[in-house]
Amino acid sequence: MTILLTQNLGKIRGRDSNQVTQFLGIKYATLNDRLADAQLIETRGGDVLDATKDGPTALSPSFGCDLELSIIQHTLPKKPLPQSDVDCLNLNIAIPSDTTTDARLPVFVFIHGGGLFIGANSWPQFDLERLVALSVSNRLPIVAVSINYRLGMFGFMTSEELRNAGYKANNGLRDQRVALAWVRRHIGDFGGDPDNITLAGMSAGAASVACHLESETPLFKRAIMMSGNRFFSPSLPYGAHEQKYEQAMAALGLADASPEERIGALLKTPGEELVAKVPPSLSPTFAVDGDLVPSAITYSQLADRTNHIPKGKDWCQDLMVGDAQIDQISLRYGITKDLDDEHAFLAILEFLNDVWMFAPSLASAQGWKGRAFVYYFNEGNPWDGAWQGRAGHILDLAYLFQNFRESLSPAQQKVSSAIAEDFFKFCHGIQPWPPVVDGNLEGGFTARVYGPSSQEPAIQQVDQPFGGKSQRRSTVFDLGDKISLDELSRIATMFTAGQ
């Protein structure tokens, strides 16, 4: 066990393994109640803080971890993880064991995904130990941090009566913002450089990163968005949230209750009961609140290098964006009335992937004022299941964190090591591959391609965004003279909503 003496947090006991010291379950904020603003923890006193065990997770469906592992199509040993409504705002930190407080190592802060309704920093697929150990082996050491934030109705439900009672929208985003403030304030005690933070996220976590790029105040130096953006996880106006709120109240038997009775029930009813009663169809979304999320965003705004949308274009130095291969439209995707259901489903997924994953990645690179790095993850899923052989959603995360390494072939391990090394370089400010030049997708484009490992070379670069070894389609861009990406996104939204 390592005991670290910090400047403002007293002594903290960590856990040593594999030349890495982990500090687990450190509270970064307190909550007066489950819907209140998070209050940053600036100091603490008293006895040694035991940070050798995971902290509580946010209230969410109990099947969450199994669901995500089923998407990856491989399991890891799980551990019992208690949930809490007010004690869930904690973070995990992993550092090289020989790190000193003056090391000023680059800091990698990770926001998990899960559709804003499931996820936890303590899930086994997010364990930071191997990632940090590999960074040391590659002589590119980092300090890694993963955070919890409120989920579901406690993190992202809003209504006029809640706001009138003093409860703001986007609690989950606000939690993340407070976690970043904690990291900037305290990470130096752990050997990290508060002025060299890379904020990374996967899926809804990547969409969260995109929202934090709306801040007028610089929050981090670099950003990584893995298979996620503000189109995949849209921001809805208050009116849409009001409808969801009323549906949730009806599901909870509170349709005819007064505002005071409703809020009282939300605060006092056992959290597990609330989670169980609110139907999955009322999926959580960001709210356009004029603050953390000042407005919705369009593809044209994102791709325009002359504007300040998002504001992070002016203060975030580097951006990395990537997607997995599968994360007259119907005809172009081979969707016809004669197509069997399985193949039609796959064709629809390809269309949604292009509109909500691939196109936003390229638009982000086009509009970025600093260095923008694009990657394509084309490594097929090696495990039995519906997505075997296909590069599916969040598989790049499984390869990055190294926690499935024993179940990969030597060729697959090579891809896993390569993506991690490139991420380490990015965190260190080293160019992992050439960036997109001046937003030019025709004459100044380069992307890193990971996989498939069954072909050589398994890691390469392409100079065209579409076709060839990129394994990406130009379809939605070819339609540009007839229908805009924003209109295609609207159609995709209507389709998935069953309209």
Q: What DSSP state is assigned to residue 218? A: -
- Residue 256 pLDDT grade (very low, low, confident, very high; cuts 50, 70, 90): very high
Which range has the worst mean pLDDT, 200-204, 231-235, 348-352, 427-431?
A: 348-352
User: Is the pLDDT score of 263 beyond 90?
Assistant: yes
pLDDT of residue 330: 38
Taking the C-alpha atoms of residue 106 and residue 100, their distance in angstroms, rounded to an integer, is 13
Average pLDDT over residues 202-225: 97
In terms of residues, how long is the chain? Answer: 499
Residue type, 132: V
Q: What is the pLDDT of residues 134-180, one digit of tens each?
A: 999 999 999 999 999 999 999 999 999 999 999 999 999 999 999 99
Containing structural domain, residue 399: 2-496
DSSP single-letter state for residue 166: T
What residue ranges in 257-370 does DSSP mark as E strands?
A: 286-287, 318-324
Measured between alpha carbons, how far is 43 from 27 in angstroms, rounded to an integer? Answer: 11
Overall number of domains in the chain: 1
Instruction: Tell me the pLDDT band of 285, cut-offs 50, 70 and 90.
Output: very high
Using CA atoms, how far residue 150 sits from 31, 172, 221, 270, 363, in Å, is 11, 5, 25, 16, 30
Task: Look up the CATH number of the domain holding residue 471.
Answer: 3.40.50.1820
**Between 341 and 434, where is the model more confident?**
434
What is the mean predicted confidence (pLDDT) over 379-406?
95
Beta strands in 117-265 (DSSP E): 143-147, 192-202, 222-226, 235-236
Residue 243 pLDDT more than 60? yes
Element (H, E) at 30: strand 29-30
Token pair, residue 132, equals 């940090």
Identify the pLDDT of residue 142: 99
* pTM of structure: 0.94
pLDDT-derived band of residue 473, with 50, 70 and 90 as boundaries? confident
Strand (E) or helix (H) holding 449: strand 447-450
